[in-house]
Amino acid sequence: MADRPDNSAFDGSNKPQLALHVPEPKYRPGDTVDFTDLNVPPAGEQARPDETCDPKETAPLCHDLVRVLGDDDKAHGPWDPKLSPDVLRTMLGHFATVRAFDERMFRGQRQGKTSFYMKCTGEEATSVSAAMALASDDMVFPSYRQQGVLIARGYPLIEMINQIYSNKGDKLKGRQLPIMYSSREHSFFSISGNLATQTPQAVGWAMASAIKGDSRIAATWLGEGSTAEGDFHSACTFAAVYNAPVILNVINNQWAISSFSGFAGAERTTFAARALGYGLAGLRVDGNDPLAVYASQKWAADRARANAGPTLIEYFTYRAEGHSTSDDPSGYRSAQEREEWPLGDPVMRLKRHLIALGEWDEDRQAEMDENAATHVKQTTKEAEKNGILGHGLHHPFRTMFEDVFEELPWHLKEQAEQAVHEREVKFPEGLPNR
Ligand SMILES: Cc1ncc(C[n+]2csc(CCOP(=O)(O)OP(=O)(O)O)c2C)c(N)n1
Ligand SMILES: [Mg+2]
């Protein structure tokens, strides 16, 4: 929509009329997509300041794009993390698991086994590669698209599936939306559906870690759309003021359900550049380049561990699929965007890099993908024994009143009794789970 002055209040004077700008995405369904005006700098050309540098030194990097993997599939420049082929193959293995998991869970939702699922297709590096650069006991405060963090940390797939199916094996007892995992043992903070709430929590946890003289740092992830929430800005202020040992990862996949990134301010400046106003170190990174993601996360982690301060990282990527199983992106964006997206696919890029190194081949890749699919399939079958959506094998109804208070207060006791009574009236034949 063009900027149009609203003439309804025009008073006839010759004062300049004000016009409201309402952002509009460049491409809508059916449009031809052209990304040639997108500035994609060559890999390896971005400077790498010292981890303990003054935040101001990162200013140029907030408008650039840190890239390591070039069009020749080789690693270039000072950000090359120089990972061993074994570590690269481990990363590729996690990618394969995440992709196989996403495929099967998406299908499970279509088959009615769960009510909801969210894929991270195209964004795998922003969680897997980042998690691999952190220590396993660093506390992570993810959003809902970081299944790759749990998988990289070795969280059992069956626990994830039990949670998605809200079955009797679900450790969260059906109290969370499917995919909103939580694992204290894996230093993975409970996911919240209220966008951006995890960001001040991460900063607060990092501050507490510093107060206690601990050595663990915190990292959080949020979507670019969620940066429009006030919580994110409070988090940035606290992080800067107290020099909290925290990493704020903004995953700019350019869409927030059907709202494009312009509604979160992308037309004006980059998300990394938000760092500058707060006095945080900032990096803008090719989010589909697994080596650049690893290197930048490691840089920020080392910076936080050295008490040199927090970092805001924008991972520039593209949400290749729908927002969730409840979404149909063909209604609001051009299907060509995914095809024309110039930063490619992180899984293919890492695979081609390993092949270019002489450390991998297509046959081994096919075997890896097949093994991942089989592992996920078998684990899914195992989890289904604990129940799927609507099969009654969930936690007993009355348990929803438990675990919050040591001693259930009288008014909740009353509610619990009333709820059980109402179910008896509604289902006089009885229910398998009381
Ligand atoms: C406070 C709040 N507002 C709105 C929503 C509804 N909502 C859920 S996901 C989403 C889009 C978020 O987009 P983004 O932050 O870019 O993350 P992405 O889904 O792209 O990973 C919205 C608006 C919510 N859950 N919480
Ligand atoms: Mg987004």
Mode of pairing for the β-strands spanning 218-223 and 246-252: parallel
Better pLDDT: 97 or 396:
97
Residue of 257, 274, 333 with the most ligand 1 atoms within 8 Å of its CB, for mutation: 257
Using CA atoms, how far apart are residues 106 and 332, in angstroms rounded to an integer?
Answer: 21
Q: Does 434 score more than 50 pLDDT?
A: no
The model's pLDDT over 275-320, given as tens digits with 9 standing for 90+, comes to 999 999 999 999 999 999 999 999 999 999 999 999 999 999 999 9
Ligand 1 atom closest to 323 (CA): 19
pLDDT at 6: 61
Using CA atoms, how far apart are residues 17 and 23, in angstroms rounded to an integer?
Answer: 19
- 227 pLDDT band, cuts 50/70/90, is very high
Using CA atoms, how far apart are residues 46 and 42, in angstroms rounded to an integer?
Answer: 9
Ligand found nearest the CA of 123: 1
Beta strands in 281-369 (DSSP E): 281-286, 311-316
Ligand 1 atom closest to 193 (CA): 25
- 10 pLDDT band, cuts 50/70/90, is low
Using CA atoms, how far apart are residues 295 and 289, in angstroms rounded to an integer?
Answer: 10
Closest C-alpha among 427, 394, 340, 413 to residue 174 = 394
The model's pLDDT over 375-387, given as tens digits with 9 standing for 90+, comes to 999 999 999 999 9
Burial class (CB in 10 A: 0-12, 13-18, 19+), 120: buried
- Answer whether 224 contacts ligand 1 (Cβ < 6 A): yes
Mode of pairing for the β-strands spanning 311-316 and 218-223: unpaired
Residue 381 sits at φ, ψ, to 5 deg, of: -60, -40
> Distance, CA 223 to ligand 2 centroid (Å)?
4
Are 293 and 287 in contact, with CB atoms under 8 Å apart? yes
The model's pLDDT over 341-361, given as tens digits with 9 standing for 90+, comes to 999 999 999 999 999 999 999
The second-level CATH assignment, the architecture, of 55-384 is 3-Layer(aba) Sandwich (3.40)
Overall average pLDDT of the 81-87 stretch: 98
pLDDT at 369: 98
List the single range of 305-314, 390-399, 404-413 with lowest mean pLDDT: 390-399
Ligand 1 atom closest to 324 (CA): 19
Quickly count: other Cβ atoms within 10 Å of residue 368's Cβ. Answer: 19
Residue owning the nearest CA to atom 20 of ligand 1: 256
Q: Which residues are paired to 188 by β-bridges?
A: 140, 183
Task: Please report where in the chains the tokens 């993810």 appear, as a residue.
Answer: 142
Are 102 and 139 in contact, with CB atoms under 8 Å apart? no
> Distance, CA 225 to ligand 1 centroid (Å)?
6
User: What's the chain's average pLDDT?
Assistant: 95
Closest C-alpha among 308, 309, 318, 311 to residue 295 = 311
pLDDT at 189: 98
CA distances from 324 to 23, 179, 246, 430 (A): 24, 11, 28, 35
Q: Does 8 score more than 90 pLDDT?
A: no
Ligand 1 atom closest to 257 (CA): 11
Helix (H) or strand (E) holding 103: helix 85-110
| 312: Cα separation from own chain's centroid | 14
pLDDT at 23: 98
Rg (Cα) of the chain, in Å, rounded? 24
pLDDT at 392: 79
List the single range of 96-100, 112-116, 426-430 with lowest mean pLDDT: 426-430
What are the structural domain ranges in the chain?
55-384, 397-426
> Distance, CA 48 to ligand 2 centroid (Å)?
27
For the chain, the 3-state helix, strand and coil shares in percent, each to the nearest 5, are: 40, 10, 50
Using CA atoms, how far apart are residues 170 and 166, in angstroms rounded to an integer?
Answer: 6
Q: Does 248 score more than 80 pLDDT?
A: yes
Q: Does 218 score more than 60 pLDDT?
A: yes
Mode of pairing for the β-strands spanning 311-316 and 246-252: parallel
Q: Does 331 score more than 50 pLDDT?
A: yes
> Distance, CA 420 to ligand 2 centroid (Å)?
41
CA distances from 283 to 69, 128, 230, 315, 417 (A): 17, 18, 21, 8, 55
Tokens of 366: 């096919």
pLDDT at 294: 99
In the chain, the largest separation of any two C-alpha atoms, in whole Å, equals 77
Q: Does 128 score more than 90 pLDDT?
A: yes
Q: Does 140 score more than 90 pLDDT?
A: yes
Task: Please report where in the chains the tokens 């991270």 appear, as a residue.
Answer: 120
Ligand found nearest the CA of 324: 1
Are 312 and 282 in contact, with CB atoms under 8 Å apart? yes
